[in-house]
Amino acid sequence: MTCIEVEPTILVDVGTPLILFDIDGTLLRRSGPHHRRALEVAVREVTGLVTSTESIPVAGMLDGVILTLMMKAVKLPAKSIREVLPSVMAQAQRIYGETCPDLRRRVCPGVRQLLPRLVRQGAVVGLVTGNLSRIGWTKMEKAGLRSHFRFGAFAEMGRTRGELARLARRQAIAEGWITRRSPAVLIGDHINDIRAAREAKMRSVAVATGVLPVAELAPHQPDFLLDDLRSFDLDEVLR
């Protein structure tokens, strides 16, 4: 499965950076209960089971993993979960697409200024997120941010965030947007984003605009740790 909405291939020099963003807690915060509700309703509509995300620490997790844990919690057998998961994910994306509110007021500090600046600086900008693809793109559209992102790697495309980050980099190379020597940066608000960057051999930028404060992110040693994206400096990150 591809993670790209392809634009014409662009020949770039070695230095073109790849900048990848998480969504929840990084680009948007407190975006409402509609995402969780879409997952819960999707499980009920496909399986007839009543489930909840309440006992699941969803921050930093992939939607497919969250859905699996929800169904495990109500004792659905593992084989049945594997069989219904594609249908549940498809239904969740449909529901969210129909119910997502306007998210323009939920954009994190500095994001609206940073994204066009990165594009002007020649960076290739994409998403690496635990959201399912239609959910992620819907959030970007409803937040007024969609036009800044060339592509994305989403929950249904891999098993871990690290795998998604590697997939995004491979796709950007395959499209000719960057080279194998291009620097790559993963920006997120969670420990799992820091780990994903490390696994994918990318530079990690952690921002304290999600559920974890600076004091909890710092021990995991991201390459850069920011209060929010107003202080992001591409030249400093790439130095």
SS3 call for 153:
strand
- Contact status, residue 24 vs residue 129, Cβ threshold 8 Å: yes
What are the tokens at 122? Answer: 């020649």
- pLDDT of the chain, 239 residues: tens digit per residue: 334 434 433 444 447 999 999 999 999 998 779 999 999 999 999 999 999 988 888 888 899 999 999 999 999 999 999 999 999 999 999 999 999 999 999 999 999 999 999 999 999 999 999 999 999 999 999 999 999 999 999 999 999 999 999 999 999 999 999 999 999 999 999 999 999 999 999 999 999 999 999 999 999 999 999 999 999 999 999 98
Residues 6 or more apart whose CB falls under 8 angstroms from that of 213 comprise none
pLDDT at 1: 38
Comparing C-alpha atoms, which of 142, 48, 134 is closest to residue 104? 142
Comparing C-alpha atoms, which of 97, 109, 95 is closest to residue 139? 97
pTM of the model: 0.91
Of 99, 114, 143, the residue that ends a domain is 99
- Contact status, residue 37 vs residue 52, Cβ threshold 8 Å: no
**CATH code of the domain covering residue 60:** 1.10.150
- Residue 217, judged by CB atoms within 10 A of its CB (0-12, 13-18, 19+), counts as buried
Of 77, 99, 121, the residue that ends a domain is 99
SS3 call for 149:
coil
pLDDT at 30: 83
Of 62, 82, 99, the residue that ends a domain is 99
Q: Which domain holds residue 162?
A: 18-30+104-238
The DSSP call for residue 61 is -
In a domain, 214, yes or no: yes
Considering the domain architecture, whether residues 87 and 199 belong to the same structural domain is answered as no
Considering the domain architecture, whether residues 77 and 58 belong to the same structural domain is answered as yes
Parallel, antiparallel, or unpaired for β 184-188 and 151-153? Answer: unpaired
Considering the domain architecture, whether residues 55 and 93 belong to the same structural domain is answered as yes
Considering the domain architecture, whether residues 233 and 156 belong to the same structural domain is answered as yes
In a domain, 9, yes or no: no
